[in-house]
Amino acid sequence: MVSAEAAARERVTSVLREEADEISDRWVQLQLAQPSLDGEVSEAELGEEADALVSALLSGLDLGLPVERVVTSHEEMHRTVSEISMRRARRGVSPTATSLAVMSLKEALLEAVQRRTREGDDLFPSAVLINRLLDSAGALSFETFVEGREEIIRRQSQQLLEVSTPVVRLWRQVLAVPLIGTLDTARTQVVMENLLQAIQEHEALVAIIDITGVPTVDTAVAQHLMHTVNAVRLMGADCVISGIRPPIAQTIAQLGIDLSTILTRATLADALGEAVKLTDAAVSDHAPLEKR
């Protein structure tokens, strides 16, 4: 004797196979009626997503996987739901709207099942099965959306760090990094990597780190600066720190931070002048002796 769930599964599978296009079209119309999409996803894109998801759902049911695993274990279904979520995350659609859009497939599928079900008692187990399937899909879409959004935010944060720490070529073999804002460990690492790479590319002899735009210098910031200076020296270049304003100089003195081993200047202009002297001296030291 066939169980109610097995019969419902067979019924839903049959409907998906025979009315796939109608179900996809109905799902698209239901999504277009949702104000939360706000025009971020075109009708053509919705149609492609609908065809892909309905096909994946049918494939998962055909494989005979348990209902609880059709979404999570079937590769095509998992990938399709994840791609829909990621695409909408990049468009700025909210995770709730994305999850509700996936679950609105319930209505389209249930309408199709209802058209082909004569016995009212057969409709309930079919509705339960559809709910179990698409609730799982909605949960996966929400989870994927959040994870994807976090990855996008991390990537944007990294890009902002790189943009906020440009390396500028001021003079022949002289580079500068104008810092603005708080200098933390993550930003220091980006500064160091960008600066060392630029030193190698430009064969720089002097690197100027300008902290005019850094609001405060505490022990942690000083340590970050020291690490950067040491890395620059290991590359064979000199390092000058500029932008030591009176309040910062007073703070450094009060904290007992020792910057005596580092060449410092009050302004970027002073640092550039010192850098030119250092590069000229380096060139003179390596100039070939004239024949007598």
What are the structural domains, with CATH classification, of the chain?
Answer: 1-161 (1.10.490.130), 168-285 (3.30.750.24)
pTM value is 0.53
Residue 199's pLDDT is what?
A: 92
Please report the pLDDT score of residue 219 as a whole number: 80
Question: With 80 as the cut, is the pLDDT of residue 41 above it?
Answer: no
Q: What is the pLDDT of residue 160?
A: 58
Per-residue confidence band for 159, with pLDDT thresholds at 50, 70 and 90: low
* Distance from C-alpha of 34 to C-alpha of 89, rounded to nearest angstrom: 17
**HEC sequence for 15-78:** HHHHCHHHHHHHHHHHHHCCHHHCCCCCHHHHHHHHHHHHHHHHHHHHCCCCHHHHHHHCHHHH
Q: Name the pLDDT band for 240 (thresholds 50, 70, 90).
A: very high
Average pLDDT, the chain: 81
pLDDT at 93: 78
Residue indicated by tokens 């270049």: 237
For the chain, percent of residues with pLDDT exceeding 90: 9
pLDDT at 291 over 70: no
Count Cβ neighbours within 10 Å for each residue of 213-233 and write b for 16 or more, e otherwise: ebeebeeebbebbeebbebbe
Looking at residue 253, its amino acid is A
Q: What is the pLDDT of residues 112-144, one digit of tens each?
A: 888 877 676 778 888 888 888 888 888 888 888
Interatomic CA distance for residues 107 and 23, integer angstroms: 9
